[in-house]
Amino acid sequence: MPKVTSKPTTIEHVDLDVLEDTLSFYIRTMNIAVSRDLDARLDGCEVARGTGKITTLLLVDSHPGIRPSVIAQIIMKDRSAMGRLIEQMIEHDLLRRQTSASERRAQELYVTPKGAELAAMIRPIVTKQSKDFFSFIAEEEQAQVMDILRRAYRKMVGMTGERD
Amino acid sequence: MPKVTSKPTTIEHVDLDVLEDTLSFYIRTMNIAVSRDLDARLDGCEVARGTGKITTLLLVDSHPGIRPSVIAQIIMKDRSAMGRLIEQMIEHDLLRRQTSASERRAQELYVTPKGAELAAMIRPIVTKQSKDFFSFIAEEEQAQVMDILRRAYRKMVGMTGERD
DNA sequence: GGCAAATAGTGGACAAATGCAACTATTTTT
DNA sequence: AAAAATAGTTGCATTTGTCCACTATTTGCC
């Protein structure tokens, strides 16, 4: 039974119905905002727009030889979307691809010099953007949210938490 | 300086570079997952796919006469995107539109009987989906995250926190 | 009163992203 | 040796978002 209010003409008189208490609503909405902001800061940077490019670049940079399918799992894309993303980044001369010697079905990804340079440039930007964007949340609370979401994420993608 | 690990073939040996500590990464990633899950549950429901339809329906239902532009602010879309969304929902006979008597530039939105019915059906689904999806996070922590994100969201869209 | 600026909504064009399903190549199972 | 699983590719249809220009109405100012 929704509480009914009439003809609100400004946002201040609106309540969000059940969405008010729905975590998914806030995740979905904050996503739009934070993504937009990030795109704005990375404007022209060859890795703007859409989730994935940044993660892919950083991941390949710090895990030379990593496979597309592994990245796909991490960013939750299907293989075809992943393939296109990589194709795009190869055309931009950020990545290089070679089929694995041991597993000739699979590929190994490497950054190009240009890719490495961009990764180095982007790393601090991404970190700063997140901090800045959420700056109206206290550091402590940011950490808290992140900690919780990190655990959720890890369970979801099946990371066990062990490092190598 | 990224820590370099070589050729990971499974997700368990991957660390996320700086993204590991980047709140925006988790928001963006969880968004993909939660949206997909929601779409799956609402399959066929006329309001699946993409942020906005659900929020719009619930909002119009609980605020009869609300304006498109107000909803646009809430879900962070531009007016043209909002217009198309509404158009679509009108075609599906979920909403009804009439120009405001006092402000002939503006419109007032109302749910149709079918829209009201759908809203009633959807409300519990949305709530449950969020709870279920995040069920591997303790209730308490869910509430904590939600509380923080809610405040962030409100600041962002310029809600002052007063209710009507 | 009348003109300029702001606000609400519409419409078109265009570039991307997404998801699905079919297809090849390689490896593993049985 | 055949069947099933895995990695990646390709094509297609759908959706989405964005940008920009355009109309209508209202408001503010001179």
Residues 44-63, chain A, touching B (beta carbon < 8 A):
51, 54-55, 58-59, 61-63
Residues 6-25, chain B, touching A (beta carbon < 8 A):
6-25
Q: Is the pLDDT of residue B103 over 70?
A: yes
Decide yes or no: CATH 1.10.10.10 for domain B51-156.
yes
CB B144 within 8 A of CB A144: yes
B69 touches strand C (CB under 7 A): yes
Q: Which residue, among A42, A70, A66, A40, has the nearest Cα to A54 in the 3D structure? A: A42
Residue B4: closest CA among chain A residues belongs to which residue?
A: A62
pLDDT of residue B47: 81
3-class secondary structure, B47: coil
- B40 touches A: beta carbon within 8 Å: no
Cα angle, residue A11 at apex, residues B57 and B59 outer, rounded to 5°: 10
pLDDT digits (tens, 9 = 90+) for A140-155: 998 999 999 999 898 8
What ipTM was assigned to the predicted interfaces of this complex?
A: 0.90
From the CA atom positions of chain B, what is the Rg in Å? 20
pLDDT digits (tens, 9 = 90+) for B12-48: 778 899 999 999 999 999 999 999 888 888 877 888 7
Across the range A60-82, mean pLDDT stands at 93
Q: Is the pLDDT of residue B162 over 60?
A: no
Domain ranges of chain A: 52-157
Residue A115 CA to residue A155 CA, distance in Å, equals 30
Residue A33 CA to residue A37 CA, distance in Å, equals 6
3-class secondary structure, A109: strand
> Which CATH architecture does the domain made up of A52-157 adopt?
Orthogonal Bundle (1.10)
**Covered bases, chain C (protein CB within 7 Å):** 7-12, 16-22, 25-27
